């Protein structure tokens, strides 16, 4: 797989780790970018021998300025695809357009339910019986683009945000490597809001 994928992550990086641990995906992970100086994600990338960049939000003017710097970095590194993995910034329209159809996100709920920054807590507070994981293409609206893969996770009596998120993450770690592989292998075809998987995974 010759594709060059950048993973953008702000946090502990367990989804990044799942991508690095998948032998079919690992060779295409070329760069990990973070907006935080030393999150787990950058350390995991260093351990795996993947190039890392800390792009400091304080050093750039607003979202547009930050994302222009990010686009420069991605361009220099010849990045073809982006996987957001807990990247806690909203992307500018310019960046989203530049990577249209080549930019994935993973969200710990069944979109379009519970978009935003606290989907696990929000699902619990709403009292739903089932939530889950969504992998979707990123468009200019937050947590909105065409859905690639979804899987349900049942809410159990006594669940709190931590226990529920832990079970959601088990699913994430299976779904994201599959979705990224399908993307870089050119097996995802978008028709309006529908995403078709062209071949068997």
Tell me which residues touch ligand GRF (CB under 6 A).
9, 11-15, 85-86, 106-108, 169, 172
Q: Would you say 55 or 85 has its CB closer to ligand GRF?
A: 85
State the catalytic residue, choosing from 81, 107, 136, 173: 107
d(CA 32, CA 45): 7
Q: Would you say 76 or 90 has its CB closer to ligand GRF?
A: 90
- CA 161 to chain centroid: 20
Q: Would you say 166 or 198 has its CB closer to ligand GRF?
A: 166
As measured in angstroms, the least distance from the Cβ of 61 to ligand GRF is 26
Q: Would you say 68 or 163 has its CB closer to ligand GRF?
A: 163
d(CA 44, CA 191): 36
The two tokens of residue 16 are: 């990044």
Q: Tell which residue, 87, 97, 95, 93, has the closest CA to residue 70.
A: 95
As measured in angstroms, the least distance from the Cβ of 105 to ligand GRF is 7
* Residue where the block lists tokens 């702000």: 10
As measured in angstroms, the least distance from the Cβ of 4 to ligand GRF is 20
Q: Would you say 67 or 172 has its CB closer to ligand GRF?
A: 172
Other Cβ atoms less than 10 A from the Cβ of 135: the count is: 24
CA dihedral over 197, 150, 12, 84, signed as positive or negative: positive
Tell me whether residue 189 is exposed, middle or buried, using C-beta atoms within 10 angstroms of its C-beta: 0 to 12, 13 to 18, 19 or more.
exposed
| C-beta nearest to ligand GRF: residue | 86
As measured in angstroms, the least distance from the Cβ of 16 to ligand GRF is 6
d(CA 52, CA 44): 10
Q: Is residue 60 annotated as part of the catalytic site, yes or no?
A: no
As measured in angstroms, the least distance from the Cβ of 85 to ligand GRF is 5
* Enzyme catalytic residues: 107
């Amino acid at each position: 797989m010759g594709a060059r994928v950048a993973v953008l992550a702000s946090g502990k990086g367990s989804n990044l780790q799942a991508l690095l641990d998948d032998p079919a995906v690992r060779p295409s992970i070329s760069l990990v970018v973070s907006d935080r100086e030393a999150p787990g994600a950058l350390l995991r990338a260093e351990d795996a021998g993947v190039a890392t960049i800390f792009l400091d939000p304080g050093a750039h003017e607003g979202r547009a300025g930050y994302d222009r710097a990010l686009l420069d970095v991605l361009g220099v590194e010849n990045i073809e695809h982006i996987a957001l993995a807990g990247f806690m910034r909203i992307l500018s329209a310019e960046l989203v357009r530049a990577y249209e159809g080549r930019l994935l996100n993973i969200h710990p709920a069944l979109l379009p339910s519970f978009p935003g920054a606290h989907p696990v807590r929000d699902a619990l507070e709403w009292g739903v019986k089932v939530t889950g994981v969504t992998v979707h293409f990123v468009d200019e609206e937050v947590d909105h683009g065409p859905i690639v893969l979804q899987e349900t996770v049942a809410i159990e009596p006594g669940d709190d945000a931590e226990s529920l998120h832990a079970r959601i993450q088990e699913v994430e770690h299976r779904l994201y490597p599959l979705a990224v592989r399908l993307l870089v292998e050119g097996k995802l075809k978008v028709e309006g809001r529908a995403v078709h998987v062209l071949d068997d995974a």
